Amino acid sequence: MHGVLYAATAVSLWGLNFVLLKLLVGVLPPHAMNTLRTLVAAAGFALLLTRGRRVRIALADALAILGFGFLGNGIFQWLLMEGVLRTPAAIAAVANATNPAWLALLGYLILRERLAPIGYLGIALAAFGVALLGGGGGGGEVGIGVMMLVLASLAWALYSISARTVGFRYPLFVWVGLGYIGGMVPYWLYGLPQVLALPFDKLPPWVWWGTAASGIFANVIAYLAWMRAVQILGPGKAGVWQNLAPVLGALGGYVFLGERLAPLALLGGALVLLGVALTQRARVRG
C-alpha cells in the first residue's frame, strides 16, 4: 500500500505542475523560471544530504549516478521546458504520459522483465496516439513540442531504471539528491544568463511563490516519492499510476487555463492512454 501511495502522490503533483508551469512561462522566460525552480529543489536536496548520515559511494556508482542524473534531470528539464512552451497543458501532460510505455520497453530490455505480445501493440498505439496528439494540437510548434515531451519522457524512463540498479545500493535521498544536483549543473549554466536578465523588481509575488512551490513539490517531494514507488513496486506497477497525470493535467488546463482540445487531439490522447494501459497490463502480468 505504501508503494501505491508514493506513486499516486508523485504523479498527482506532476500532473498539476503542468498547469503551474504554463502560468509561469506566461510571465517568465522558460529556462530562467526553470533554473530558479530547480535551484530551489537543489537547496531542498542539499538540506536532506547535510542532515542525513554520511554514505560512502563507490567511484563507479558515483559516475553512474551522475550520468543518470544528467540524463534524467539536466536533459529532461531542457526538453520538458521546450515542450511545455510549445504545447497546451493538457497536451503536454498526455504527451508526457508515454513514460510507462518506455518504462515497460526498457524494463524488458535492461531488467529482463517479461513483456507479453500485447505490450508491443500498446507501445505502437501510444506512438500513433502521440502523432495524432501533435497533429490535433495544430502541428507545427505544437508537434515539435509533443516530440520534445516524448523525448523527455524517454529520458525520465531511463533515469527511473536506475532506481532498480544503482539506486538499490544507497539510501534514497543520497543517490537521488546527488544525481539531481550533479546532473543539473550543465542546465543551470545554460539558464543562468536568462536569470540574470530578469527584471526582479517588476515580478509579482505569486511568481516567486509559484516557482518555489513547483521546485519543492514537483522536483523534491514528487521525485523522492516516485523513486521510492519504483523501488517498492517495480517500474511496471509504478508506471500504471502515471495514467493519472494526464487526467489531472487536462482537467487543470480546462479549469484554470480555459484550454479546449480539438477532436483529433482527444483521439490521440485516448490512444496514448489505451496504449499505455495495454503495455502495463502486458508487463505486469506477462
* pLDDT one-digit tens code per residue, 12-41: 898 888 888 888 988 999 999 999 999 999
Confidence band, pLDDT 50/70/90 cuts, at residue 243 = low
Report whether 110 contacts 219 (CB < 8 A). Answer: no
Q: Give the residue-averaged pLDDT of 192-217.
A: 93
Highest mean pLDDT among 12-21, 31-40, 43-52, 235-244: 31-40
Q: What digits encode the pLDDT tens for the residues 74-98?
A: 999 999 899 888 887 767 776 776 7
- Selected residue with higher pLDDT from 264 and 71: 71
Give the model's pLDDT for residue 140.
Answer: 64
Q: What digits encode the pLDDT tens for the residues 112-163?
A: 666 667 767 776 777 677 666 655 555 567 788 888 988 998 898 888 888 7
- Domain interval for residue 121: 2-285
Q: Please provide the average confidence, as pLDDT, over all residues in the chain.
A: 80
Q: How many degrees, rounded to 5, is the angle at CA 103 between CA 156 and CA 178?
A: 35
Q: Is the pLDDT of residue 170 over 80?
A: yes
Q: Is the pLDDT of residue 69 over 50?
A: yes
Q: How many domains does the chain have?
A: 1
Give the model's pLDDT for residue 265.
Answer: 66
Q: Give the residue-averaged pLDDT of 204-214.
A: 94
Q: Is the pLDDT of residue 230 over 90?
A: no
C-alpha cell at 84: 511545455
Give the model's pLDDT for residue 55.
Answer: 83
Phi, psi of 7, rounded to the nearest 5 degrees: -65, -45
Question: Which conformational region is residue 137 in: left (phi greater than 0), alpha (psi within -120 to 50 degrees), or beta?
Answer: alpha
- Selected residue with higher pLDDT from 99 and 66: 66
Q: What digits encode the pLDDT tens for the residues 267-286?
A: 776 777 677 677 666 654 44
- Selected residue with higher pLDDT from 98 and 5: 5
Highest mean pLDDT among 118-127, 186-195, 262-271: 186-195
Give the model's pLDDT for residue 285.
Answer: 45
For residue 3, CA distances in Å to 10, 227, 239, 254 come to 11, 10, 11, 30
Confidence band, pLDDT 50/70/90 cuts, at residue 173 = confident
Nearest 10 degrees: Cα torsion 103, 244, 18, 167: -40
Residue type, 157: A
Nearest 10 degrees: Cα torsion 137, 143, 149, 150: 110
Q: Is the pLDDT of residue 99 over 80?
A: no
Give the model's pLDDT for residue 286.
Answer: 43
C-alpha cell at 156: 525520465
